[in-house]
Amino acid sequence: MWLAVSDAAIQWMIEQFPGIGEEHDVLIPLVGECDDSWLNDVAGRHVKAENVREALETASSGPVAEGSVGGGTGMICLDFKGGIGTSSRKLSPALGGYTVGVLVMSNFGHMRDLRIAGLPIGALFETRYKHLHKRAASYGSIIAVFATDAPLSSHQLGRISKRVAMGIGRAGSIAAHGSGEIILAFSTANKIPRTTQKMIYHMKILLDQRLNPLYEAAIEATEEAILNSLCMAREMDGVNGNFAPALPLDEVKDIVERSALRPRPRPAVKPPPAARSTPPPEGPRVSEAPPSAARGAEGMMTVPLPKEPGTGS
């Protein structure tokens, strides 16, 4: 399948840009795939060149279709029907104002491991669906694509990819043996010329100390994208009589709402003890103590101590 897609993509690009190979650079397509053999007849080799051409010619900007669409048609996620899912985050201006987007094709895991909002949703449904014939092993996988306009180096994008994996784990993946997780991360901030007469290229790179908000955004958006793929998919009958149920959304919503954290009542405030005439002296509390000259409050920079009055420079 991947070879057919690669060949068809190259042929389409050559038609669009006849100078490829001479005027333009060579082509190296990147083709990813997930195992959908539980629902699809994979030996049928159903993906043809015309399917690839149609996908390229109809590609457009705007909202991304989710659920059982495109490559997500035969996906199963945590024993429920999975597929394509997307999510994004926009950092505040104080944190750089960068945008983070994640697209997933979810196809992994067992029902018992599904977690939504930290709740063991899958374990609650496992008894109901125990009669269904399921995949015996976690030979599924997930493809996740992380995109951002934050100026990141390749090393930083690698670190971001590890946080994407943490988001996959939040939804219930254990990255089982035989499951081929693929995570691709890229940034659009710097455009590197393929050919130039210059000797040096200048890049903008975000300081490592400013990566935490992007880490958080990557984890949250990945988890949400997987959940969106589940919520938008519908039940499906597949090859060999196999069946993938859809996530029962109404019941999930009810469970999450009933389990929502509610403010706890405050304990009764005891009256203060009688004031002493001469209270014993106390040292400064930790929160009031100034940071030392060797280490700042966050441990990332030195903070000079205030000078005593009357001392010289």
Question: Which amino acids are annotated catalytic?
Answer: 141, 179, 181
The residue count of the chain comes to 313
Strand partners, 149: none
User: Which residues, 6 or more positions from 220, have their beta carbon under 8 angstroms from its beta carbon?
Assistant: 87, 89, 167
How is the chain classified by DSSP, letter by letter? Answer: -HHHHHHHHHHHHHHH-TTBTTTB------------TTTS-GGG----HHHHHHHHHH--SSPPP-BSSGGGTT-EETTEE--EEEEEEE--GGGT--EEEEEEE-----GGG--BTTB-HHHHHTTTTTTS---SS-----EEEEEE-S---HHHHHHHHHHHHHHHHHHT----TT---EEEEEESS----SS-S-S--------GGG-HHHHHHHHHHHHHHHHHHHHH---EE-GGG-EEPPP-HHHHHHHHHHT---PPPPPPPPPPPPPPSSPPP-PPPTTTSPPPSSS-TTSSS--PPPPPTT---
